[in-house]
């Protein structure tokens, strides 16, 4: 059985998508269409989604999913904690890297280098049947593009 953990936010791989649901104020529950069985432990997967708030506005977002050896999953917020740039996974060094100011995070989201003041944020996550749901803060904003 898949154990789930995490608070916080993504995308990689073909066929990954997201359905959005719920908009009664923050947070907004987002259903990820990625099959949790396809996640590889230790290999982050970015899953894109479209966030639609109760007011009707929508914006693109994503979450980095990390499956752990015990089957639990963490959903990382896609925004660097320094200045909200989009970061990515660098498989060559097995670290999350932010190109804006060279922020570097470990697989568990802890800061390894650069100016980020705190670890990566997480989206609360739960498994409902075979569907991963994450709770995205209602004030979520699309990450700034990397430099
Ligand atoms: S925004 Fe990521 S290191 Fe500055």
User: Do 101 and 67 belong together in one domain?
Assistant: no
Looking at the chain, the number of H-run helices and the number of E-run strands are 0, 12
Taking the centre of ligand 1 as the mean of its atom positions, its distance from the CA of residue 106, in whole angstroms, is 15
What is the count of structural domains for the chain? 2
* Assigned token pair, 35: 């099959």
**Within-domain flag for 146:** no
pLDDT of residue 147: 66
Q: What is the pLDDT of residue 116?
A: 98
- Residue 10's nearest CA partner among 112, 96, 83 is 96
Q: Answer yes or no: is 18 within a domain.
A: yes
Pocket test of ligand 1: the residue of 100, 145, 146 to mutate, having most ligand atoms within 8 Å of its CB, is 100
Say if residue 27 is preceded by a cis peptide, omega within 30 of 0.
yes
Phi, psi of 50 (to 5 degrees): -110, 125
Range of the domain at 9: 1-78+121-140
For residue 89, give the nearest of 74, 106, 72 by alpha carbon: 106
Q: Which atom of ligand 1 is nearest to the CA of 144?
A: 1
For residue 104, how far is its CA from the centre of ligand 1 (angstroms)?
9
pLDDT tens for the 147 residues of the chain, in order: 333 443 333 333 333 333 333 334 579 999 998 999 999 999 999 999 999 888 888 999 999 999 999 999 999 999 999 999 999 999 999 999 999 999 999 999 999 999 999 999 999 999 999 999 999 998 899 999 976
Q: What pLDDT shows up at residue 36?
A: 96
Q: What is the pLDDT of residue 143?
A: 94
pTM above 0.85, yes or no: no
Q: Is the CB of 47 under 6 A from ligand 1?
A: no
Looking at residue 20, what is its pLDDT? Answer: 38
Specify whether the CB–CB gap between 129 and 36 falls below 8 A.
no
In this prediction, residue 66 carries a pLDDT of 98
With beta carbons less than 8 A apart as the criterion, state whether 101 and 32 touch. Answer: no
Q: Is 47 within the bounds of a domain?
A: yes
Q: Are 14 and 114 in contact (CB under 8 A)?
A: no
């Amino acid at each position: 059985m898949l154990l789930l953990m995490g608070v916080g936010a993504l995308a990689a791989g073909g066929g990954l998508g997201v359905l959005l649901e719920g908009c009664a104020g923050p947070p907004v529950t987002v259903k990820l269409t990625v099959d949790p069985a396809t996640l590889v432990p230790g290999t982050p997967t970015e899953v894109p989604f479209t966030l639609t708030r109760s007011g009707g506005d929508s914006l693109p977002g994503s979450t980095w999913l990390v499956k752990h050896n015990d089957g639990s999953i963490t959903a990382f917020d896609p925004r660097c904690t320094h200045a909200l740039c989009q970061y990515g996974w660098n498989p060559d060094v097995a670290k999350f890297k932010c190109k804006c100011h060279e922020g570097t995070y470990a697989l568990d989201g802890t800061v390894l280098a650069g100016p980020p003041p705190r670890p990566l944020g997480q989206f609360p996550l739960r498994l409902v049947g075979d569907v991963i749901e994450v709770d995205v803060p209602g004030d979520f904003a699309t990450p700034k593009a990397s430099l």
